[in-house]
Amino acid sequence: MSQNVQVDRTLTFRGDAVQEANVVGPMMTVRKTIKDEFMGDTLDANLWTATTDGSNDTVAISEIAGGTCLITTGEIDDDVSFLSGPIIFNGSKKAEVEFRIGVTDISGTNIFVGFSDAKSETSVLAAAYPADALTATATDFAGFVLDPDHGASLMCVANADGTNDQVVDSGIDWEDNALHNLRVKLTDARADFFVDGIQKASIAAGPTAATLLCATVQAGTRADDNQNTVLVQRYNAWVDAT
């Protein structure tokens, strides 16, 4: 019998295997993993730091079907909110993160989703893309940016040491209430970007390989559009074992 099972797409259980235990023996992964599907009553304080820097903005579990962390942006233009995990990831350990994200109103909401070197910033996101140019507060980061001050385009962005801004248009124009799986994969200094399982960009000069980063979802108010919502429905992250 083969000692290895290789799957190129999906592993599907059928028949009785759908209704009863379908794995014999302990499951042990080579890579370290962490996930959150936001199905509890409150955010897990061991996983998340929630920061609000605006007017009546909130970051909290919402009783929406299926489980969701809901970020409600502030009432004033450029109010910002942050949902961030521990600062433990880097390219040297081939970190990956994927969030399933929804935005209710893209005309009034900017977001940054991916890796950054800080859990929060003051009055701004880690990176934004107003006026067709990247503006960054974080020094090392790799993630997706949606900024209505630019338009509906989802941008892939990265920087190392605060001196080498990199921007690639994903080719996706986000629509109101759409949900997308956003994945950032770090391999040493390279950052690869995937949307709904399809690679959209590869940036060779990504974050410095050894710099520690956190997985983060950040949202802000644009266009004086008052409060809007960002849905965070699932979080998965992987990293090589030390």
Digit-coded pLDDT (tens) for 176-190: 999 999 999 999 999
Domain of residue 115, CATH code? 2.60.120.200
Domain-located, residue 8 = no
Structural domain including 53 reads: 29-239
Task: Report CA 201 to chain centroid distance, whole Å.
Answer: 15
Domain count of the fold of the chain: 1
Q: Coil, strand or helix: which one is 40?
A: coil
pLDDT of residue 123: 86
The closest alpha carbon to 173, from 197, 143, 141, 148, belongs to 148
Q: Is residue 10 part of a domain?
A: no
Residue with tokens 């955010």: 43
The chain-wide mean pLDDT, for the chain, equals: 93
Q: Does residue 63 lie in a domain region?
A: yes
d(CA 148, CA 109): 7
Is residue 225 scored above 80 in pLDDT?
Answer: no
Euclidean distance between CA atoms 184 and 164, whole angstroms: 18
User: What is the distance between the alpha carbons of residues 165 and 157, in angstroms, rounded to a whole number?
Assistant: 7
pLDDT digits (tens, 9 = 90+) for 23-52: 988 988 899 999 999 999 999 999 999 999
pLDDT at res. 1: 54
pLDDT at 142: 97
